[in-house]
């Protein structure tokens, strides 16, 4: 008989989640009952309170080695780091939303609570120590994200993105559950620790089948090649602030879920899954980068680049060590700042009726919007991995973990891939600084909140590039504490 | 009559494969969604069968989770279909290709 | 000031860049003045360094060492020895001169001066860094301002030149990064500290040393630029604005050879001995001859100077490869001398380009009568570049050739005879531009003005003084180079001996 426990440890584990979810509920109800919709920025403030509250609660309550609900959920270092990264991503996408949504004519004020709900799903994924909790986290996040992708009701592209995202997400859910079922049958449990303990005695064939299904399902979520084909369409079609959330927050949560599952629960099988994930990583980064080179739409280019970055992250998971896990966490933080920043720049160029997402639309941006162009240069360089920006330290950390685990070729392939990526990131810089503008574009002032978002992203990109030590240590230690 | 657990598992696997094939080959959203539901129910069958085999309640509890989540998913999915249908008057996936697939 | 002087030299220009960015866009003179102001203290500090530098020791001086990223054992570790202090002096001087030479820039001048100061900071950093990671950071930071400075303020084909520069350097950086990480992981405990790495060099296997050496060498060879990686240089030079050409030829090219001396030589001594005697010496000779031949074929004044740089950098590689005290001293002296001489040449090309708006050698003629002062300065620079006795380059080239004579008489003769080629194209160019019948189009050209002379005077003085009395520089570098030579020879012998013992 399962005894229902709800004690101090449990309360501790769910407090950050509660803060976020309750704020979402309040925000939702407030918008339903409040008739005054004149100020488009108001719901943002309430949501931001939830985000900040979630971060504060996480920072105050996390503890290494913590576990709750019979060891199925934890607010340990890894989970705390994921919470902060995901809430940061959600907060930054909230900041860029109000002006943008107004400009494309979206009135839906449920946008803000939905972002919070998606964030709460990510937090559940980060703390999951049981396959069922992981599944629940994925679904809480995904269902909110499906709606968010289609929130631009009058735009056919947005609807199409939502549709594709939904169908493939549901399809992936089927695989995830079947994988869980098979692992459950083979090991008799769905908890990570129990699985790890039972693996040596379990039927190898069955276990490998289950793991293969899980790789497929999670491959969909992190948009790993060959399960990536939905990503560019969805990223391009969804409203840009949602795309930022998907490319950063959802990816972060999925990657952490992936890392925790494989590094903790499936550690005894490392030999078996490492080869598969090795190929997955190599394919993902190479296909992502090579395809990104051929793009003419900036948002789509960023989508492919985000696929490539998923490849880098998977490469560190291949290492299968706490070091690899720590590198993944730090890279996610780095990625949050630089990628959200890039999307914020994309948003800042959009006008009502014209998205201005083509490379040509960026021609001569430096003379029209020097500061925004300069910020974009920083983000592009950081994504390429040029020191002293945060992307470089992140990549260095990934490479260190990979080499430490003995996968030298993987590291070499990754470095070569970064060199390829320099081409298309540089191309955007080239457009902005060395081309003359195609037509007389009106210089529109970006919304103040968007400026705040850009500033935060810029500061994060530079600051953590020069002083990466505190988050680096934290990330490394929190994965070490899992063992 | 005592049916061995393998039979359930094989049946579930077959249903899962049928659902999977349906998703990949059908072009009507509604049919695709039904195929996904087929996959989920195959999983449910697996869980229940395994639960009895392992003499643990976990599997049966999980089925409830799966059903709840599936219901929520269907609700959102149908809402998205409706939105698309009101824009384009179609439920055919081949006709929804503004973005390169 | 004494302990942190290098830090100030690196970061003052950076502060300057930020200050310049905050100035109002239209205050042209204020921007110029501020930019100049921030290059003066480093110059004064450089002079101070020169006076207080202990010439008797080969140790690092003015060292600052602070942990930076402890997780990777990365330190903010800077200091100078004899090799780097000459480069730091050169950088400080040329930065100041080039800021003044950039006063004519009109387009987006705020951005120009900010980028220039950023470049200045990064160059200083490269020469002072003693931690490989820090070195790499500065090396990469340098890349971007250079790309923009060529790509935005350059000539008609600036975009092509900028991209080419960027891609070549990027490939080099990637190789360097891989080699750097390999060194980091090979050393136990892992470290990026260049001195640490060098002190453990005995434990690196020869095979590993060779691979790492090649990786680093390609990275540096692209910067030198050594044949066959040189093709970006003429394009970049032709398109870059005058001051940027000066920095490019005067400082950036030296980074290639400096990197080899600072990293390849002490850290990978066995591989250095292997490769110096074949690869490096051959490339050096080929650079000398090939550069001179290409220069002879040019009709664009600036391209000619660019190829002459390739030729002169060949002497540096040749001298380094000889592994003799004369050769290696000559190489470092040549780095300094080439920095001053080529800076003069590019400044002088800039003067004529500003007036005539083209650089076709055959499009001029008889300028000596029209611009006598200008012609005088050009003659000094040309004679220095030719290696005329009494001017600085003569001494360094002779030292290099002396160093080579013992081990490589044949190659030394080839290299020495290239001096004839150099004299040939230099004199021929002089004749075509300055002598002969005056081209009527340019009769009214104004002579060189005060600001331009001001930029040339310090360089001219150095060229003449070092030509007569090279001790000031030789004293600086000697102790460090003697030490370096011993380290390479000694370590390599140890490595070879152990390798020999292993053969049954």
List the single range of A234-243, B87-96, C421-430 with lowest mean pLDDT: B87-96
Question: If we measure between CA atoms, which residue out of C134, C136, C139 comes closest to residue C69?
Answer: C134
Any domain includes A1: no
CB contact under 8 A, A434 and C71: no
Report chain B residues whose CB lies below 8 A from the CB of A135. 65, 69
Domain assignment present for C125 = no
Band of the pLDDT at C406, cuts 50, 70, 90?
confident
Task: Say whether the A–C interface has 3 or more Cβ pairs within 8 Å.
Answer: yes
The continuous run of DSSP H or E covering C337 comes out as helix C325-356
Average pLDDT for C285-308: 90
Classify residue A37 by burial, with Cβ atoms within 10 Å: 0-12, 13-18, 19+: exposed
Does residue A2 lie in a domain region?
Answer: no
Which of A209-213, C117-121, C213-217, C497-501 is the least confident region? C497-501
A65 vs chain B: nearest CA distance in angstroms? 25
Residue C39 lies in a domain: no
**Is A472 close to C178, i.e. CB distance below 8 A?**
no
Q: What is the pLDDT of residue A378?
A: 93
Structural contact between residues A393 and A471, judged by C-beta atoms closer than 8 angstroms: no
Give the chain A residue nearest C74 (alpha carbons).
A469
Q: What is the DSSP letter of A358?
A: B
| B54 at A interface, C-beta within 8 A | yes
- Separation of alpha carbons A235 and A248, rounded Å: 11
Residue C448 has pLDDT above 50, yes or no: yes
Chain A within 8 Å of B47 (Cβ-Cβ)? yes
Beta bridge partners of C74: C69
Highest-confidence segment of A83-97, B80-94, C67-81: A83-97
What does the DSSP 8-state code read for residue A385?
T
Biggest distance spanned by C-alpha atoms of chain C: 80
CA distance A126 to A133: 10
Q: Is residue C175 part of a domain?
A: yes
Chain A interface includes B1 (CB < 8 A): no
pLDDT band, residue C471 (cuts 50/70/90) = confident
Confidence of residue B97 (pLDDT cuts 50, 70, 90): low
Q: Which of A164, A167, A188 sits opposite B56 (nearest CB)?
A: A188
3-state class of C482 per DSSP? helix
- Does the beta-carbon distance from A387 to C163 stay under 8 Å? no
Gap from C64 CA to chain A (nearest CA, Å): 18
Query: What is the DSSP code string of C156-192?
Result: TTHHHHHHHHHHHHHHHHHHHHHHHHHHHHHSSS---
- Give the CA angle between residues A135, A304, A85 to the nearest 5°: 50
Global confidence as pTM: 0.90
CB burial readout C247-266, b (16+ within 10 A) else e: bbbbbbbbbbbbbbbbbbbb
Q: Which of A73-82, A186-195, C115-124, C354-363 has the lowest mean pLDDT?
A: C354-363
How many angstroms separate the CA atoms of C478 and C499, rounded?
A: 31
Compute the CA torsion angle A180, A184, A185, A186 (nearest 10 deg): 100
- What is the H or E stretch that residue C341 is in? helix C325-356
pLDDT at C78 over 60: yes
What is the biggest distance separating any 2 CA atoms in chain A, rounded to whole angstroms?
A: 72
Residues in Cβ contact with C342 at an 8 Å cutoff, skipping those fewer than 6 apart = C246, C249, C250, C305, C308, C309, C312, C385
Identify the pLDDT of residue C504.
34
Domain count of the fold of chain C: 1
Looking at residue A443, its pLDDT comes to 55
Residue C141: its chain A contacts at CB < 8 A?
387-388
Number of domains, chain A? 1
Within a domain: residue A197? yes
d(CA A206, CA A183): 7
| Average pLDDT for C452-475 | 89
Q: How far is B4 from chain A (nearest CA, A)?
A: 15
Determine contact, residues C138/C126, Cβ cutoff 8 Å: yes
**pLDDT at position C127, please?**
93
Within a domain: A3: no
Whether C285 is in a domain gets the answer yes
Residues of chain C whose beta carbon is less than 8 angstroms from a beta carbon of chain A are: 69-72, 111, 136-137, 140-141, 143-144, 148, 151-152, 158-159, 162-163, 166, 170-171, 174, 177-178, 181, 185
Across C156-161, average pLDDT: 86
State the pLDDT at residue A204: 87
Q: What is the pLDDT of residue A317?
A: 94
On whether the CB atoms of residues B23 and B42 are closer than 8 A, the answer is no
Q: Is residue C460 part of a domain?
A: yes
Q: Over 90: is that where the pLDDT of B67 sits?
A: yes
Residue of C15, C246, C4 lying closest to C117 (CA atoms): C15
Q: CA C354 to CA B48: how far, in whole Å?
A: 86
Question: Residue B79 belongs to what H/E stretch?
Answer: helix B58-88
What was the pLDDT predicted at C430? 87
Whether residue B100 and residue A173 make contact (CB cut-off 8 A), yes or no, is no
Q: Taking CB atoms and an 8 Å cutoff, what residues of chain C touch A419?
A: 170-171, 174
Task: With CA atoms as reference, report the closest residue to C41 among C64, C20, C15.
Answer: C15
Contact (CB<8Å) C69/A472: yes
Which residue of A lies nearest to B33 if distances are taken between CA atoms?
Answer: A167
Q: How confident is the model at residue C357 (pLDDT cuts 50, 70, 90)?
A: confident
Q: Do the Cβ atoms of B80 and A159 come within 8 Å?
A: yes
Q: A323 lies in which domain range?
A: 8-480
pLDDT exceeds cutoff 80 at C343: yes
Chain B contact partners (≥3 CB pairs within 8 A) = A
- Residues B48 and B61: their CA atoms lie apart, in Å, by 9
Query: By residue range, what is the domain housing residue C235?
Result: 144-495
- Please state, in angstroms and rounded to a whole number, the distance separating the CA atoms of residues A460 and A91: 14
Residue B79 with chain A: CB contacts under 8 Å: 147
Residues of B in contact with A182 (CB under 8 A): 46
d(Cα A26, Cα A6) in Å, to the nearest integer? 24
ipTM of the modeled complex: 0.93
- pLDDT truncated to tens, each residue of chain A (483 aa)? 455 566 778 888 889 999 999 999 998 888 888 777 677 667 788 899 999 999 999 998 888 878 888 888 988 899 999 999 999 999 999 998 888 888 888 877 888 999 999 999 999 999 999 999 999 999 999 999 999 998 888 888 888 889 889 999 999 999 999 999 999 999 988 999 899 999 888 888 999 999 999 999 999 999 998 888 889 989 988 999 999 999 999 999 999 999 999 998 898 889 889 999 999 999 999 999 999 999 989 999 999 999 999 999 999 999 989 889 999 999 999 999 999 999 999 988 877 666 778 888 888 888 888 888 899 999 999 999 888 899 999 999 999 899 888 898 999 899 989 988 988 998 898 888 888 776 655 556 778 888 999 999 999 999 999 999 899 989 988 888 886
Q: Determine, for residues C71 and A469 on separate chains, whether the beta-carbon distance falls below 8 Å.
A: yes
3 state SS of C503? coil
Mean pLDDT, all residues of chain B: 86
On whether residue C188 sits in a domain, the answer given is yes
Q: Give the angle A132-A137-A142 at the CA atoms, nearest 5°.
A: 125
The DSSP element (H or E) to which C17 belongs, if any, is helix C5-22
CB contact under 8 A, A184 and B23: no
Distance from CA of A157 to the nearest CA of B (A): 7
Query: What residue in B sits closest to A152 (Cα-Cα)?
Result: B83
For residues C405-426, give the mean pLDDT. 87
Of A143, A185, A237, the CB nearest to B73: A143
Chains B and C are touching, with contact defined as 3 or more CB–CB pairs separated by less than 8 Å: no
Chain B partners of A233 at a C-beta cutoff of 8 Å?
A: 99-101
Tokens standing for residue C437: 């019948």
| CB-nearest partner of A419 from C69, C140, C174 | C174
């Amino acid at each position: 008989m399962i005894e229902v426990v709800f004690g101090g440890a449990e309360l501790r584990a769910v407090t950050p989640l509660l803060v976020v979810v309750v704020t979402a509920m309040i925000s939702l109800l407030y918008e339903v009952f409040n008739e005054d919709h004149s100020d488009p920025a108001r719901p943002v403030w309430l949501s931001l309170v939830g985000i900040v509250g979630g971060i504060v609660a996480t920072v105050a309550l996390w503890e290494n080695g913590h576990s709750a609900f019979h060891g199925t959920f934890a607010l340990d270092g890894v989970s705390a780091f994921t919470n902060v990264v995901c809430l940061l991503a959600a907060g930054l996408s909230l900041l860029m939303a109000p002006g943008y949504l107004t400009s494309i004519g979206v009135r839906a004020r449920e946008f803000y609570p939905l972002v919070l709900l998606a964030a709460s799903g990510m937090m559940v994924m980060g703390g999951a120590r049981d396959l069922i909790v992981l599944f629940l986290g994925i679904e809480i996040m995904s269902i909110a994200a499906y709606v968010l992708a289609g929130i631009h009701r009058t735009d056919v592209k947005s609807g199409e993105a939502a549709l594709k995202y939904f169908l493939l997400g549901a399809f992936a859910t089927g695989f995830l559950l079947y994988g869980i079922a098979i692992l459950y049958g083979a090991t008799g449990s769905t908890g990570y620790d129990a699985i790890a303990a039972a693996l040596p005695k379990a039927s190898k064939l069955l276990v490998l089948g289950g793991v293969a299904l899980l790789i497929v399902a999670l491959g969909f979520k992190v948009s790993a090649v060959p399960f990536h084909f939905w990503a560019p369409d969805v990223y391009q079609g969804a409203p840009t602030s949602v795309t930022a959330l998907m490319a950063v927050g959802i990816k972060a949560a999925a990657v952490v879920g992936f890392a925790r599952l494989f590094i903790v629960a499936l550690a005894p099988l490392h030999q078996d899954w490492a080869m598969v994930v090795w190929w997955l990583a190599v394919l993902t980064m190479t296909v992502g980068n090579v395809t990104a080179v051929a793009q003419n739409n900036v948002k789509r280019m960023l989508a492919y680049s985000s696929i490539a970055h998923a490849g880098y992250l998977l490469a560190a998971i291949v290492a299968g060590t706490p070091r690899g896990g720590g590198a993944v966490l730090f890279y996610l933080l780095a990625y949050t700042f630089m990628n959200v920043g890039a999307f914020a720049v994309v948003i800042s160029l959009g006008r009502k009726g014209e998205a201005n997402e083509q490379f040509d639309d960026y021609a001569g941006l430096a003379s029209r919007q020097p500061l925004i162009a300069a910020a974009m240069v920083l983000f592009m360089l950081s994504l390429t991995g040029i020191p002293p920006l945060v992307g470089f330290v992140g990549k260095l950390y990934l490479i260190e973990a990979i080499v430490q685990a003995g996968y030298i070729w993987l590291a070499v392939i990754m470095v070569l891939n970064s060199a390829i990526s320099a081409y298309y990131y540089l191309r955007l810089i080239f457009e902005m600084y060395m081309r003359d503008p195609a037509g007389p574009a009106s210089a529109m002032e970006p919304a103040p909140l968007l400026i705040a978002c850009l500033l935060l992203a810029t500061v994060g990109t530079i600051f953590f590039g020069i002083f990466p030590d505190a988050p680096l240590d934290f990330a490394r230690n929190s994965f070490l504490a899992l063992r | 009559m005592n049916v061995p657990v393998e039979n359930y598992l094989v049946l579930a696997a077959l249903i899962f494969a049928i659902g999977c094939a349906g998703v990949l080959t059908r072009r009507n959203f509604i049919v695709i969604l039904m195929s996904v539901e087929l996959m989920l129910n195959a999983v449910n069958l697996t869980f229940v069968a395994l639960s009895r085999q392992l003499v643990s309640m976990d599997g049966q509890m999980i089925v409830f989770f799966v059903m709840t989540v599936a219901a929520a998913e269907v609700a959102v999915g149908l809402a998205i279909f409706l939105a698309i249908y009101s824009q384009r008057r179609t439920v055919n996936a081949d006709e929804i290709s503004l973005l390169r697939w | 000031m004494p302990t942190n002087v290098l830090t100030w030299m690196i970061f003052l220009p950076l502060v300057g860049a930020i200050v310049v960015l905050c100035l109002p866009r239209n205050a042209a003179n204020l921007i110029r003045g501020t930019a100049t102001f921030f290059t003066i203290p480093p110059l004064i500090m450089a002079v101070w360094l020169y006076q207080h530098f202990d010439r008797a020791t080969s140790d690092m001086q003015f060292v600052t060492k602070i942990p930076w990223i402890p997780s990777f054992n990365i330190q903010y570790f800077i200091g100078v020895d004899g090799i780097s202090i000459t480069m730091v002096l050169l950088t400080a001087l040329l930065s100041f001169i080039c800021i003044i030479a950039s006063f004519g820039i009109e387009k987006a001048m705020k951005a120009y001066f900010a980028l220039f100061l950023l470049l200045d900071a990064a160059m200083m950093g490269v020469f002072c860094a003693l931690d490989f990671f820090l070195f790499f950071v500065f090396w990469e930071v340098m890349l971007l301002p250079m790309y923009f400075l060529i790509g935005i303020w350059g000539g008609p084909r600036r975009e092509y030149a900028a991209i080419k520069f960027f891609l070549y350097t990027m490939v080099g950086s990637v190789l360097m990064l891989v080699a750097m990480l390999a060194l980091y992981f090979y050393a136990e405990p892992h470290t990026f500290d260049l001195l640490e790495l060098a002190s453990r060099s005995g434990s690196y296997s020869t095979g590993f040393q060779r691979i790492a050496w090649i990786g680093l060498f390609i990275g540096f060879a692209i910067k030198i630029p050594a044949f066959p990686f040189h093709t970006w240089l003429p394009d970049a030079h032709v398109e870059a604005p005058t001051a940027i050409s000066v920095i490019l030829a005067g400082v950036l090219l030296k980074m290639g050879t400096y990197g080899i001396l600072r990293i390849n030589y002490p850290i990978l001594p066995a591989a250095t001995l292997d490769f110096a005697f074949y690869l490096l010496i051959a490339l050096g000779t080929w650079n000398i001859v090939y550069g001179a031949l290409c220069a002879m074929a040019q009709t664009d004044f600036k391209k000619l100077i660019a190829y002459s740089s390739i030729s002169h950098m060949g002497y540096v590689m040749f001298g380094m490869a000889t592994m003799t005290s004369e050769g290696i001293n000559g190489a470092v002296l040549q780095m300094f001398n080439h920095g001053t001489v080529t800076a003069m040449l590019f400044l002088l090309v800039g003067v004529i380009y500003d007036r005539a708006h083209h650089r076709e050698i055959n499009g001029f003629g008889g300028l000596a009568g029209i611009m006598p002062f200008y012609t005088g300065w050009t003659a000094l620079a040309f004679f220095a570049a030719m290696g005329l006795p009494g001017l600085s380059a003569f001494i360094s080239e002779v030292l290099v050739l002396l160093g080579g004579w013992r081990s490589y008489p044949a190659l030394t003769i080839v290299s020495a005879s290239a001096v004839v080629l150099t004299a040939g194209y230099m004199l021929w160019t002089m004749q075509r531009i300055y002598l002969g019948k005056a081209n009527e189009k340019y009769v009214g050209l104004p002579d060189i003005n005060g600001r331009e002379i001001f930029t040339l005077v310090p360089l001219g003085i150095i060229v003449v003084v070092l030509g007569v009395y090279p001790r000031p520089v030789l004293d600086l570098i000697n102790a460090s180079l003697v030490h370096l030579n011993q380290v390479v020879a000694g370590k390599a012998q140890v490595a070879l001996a152990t390798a020999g013992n292993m053969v049954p």
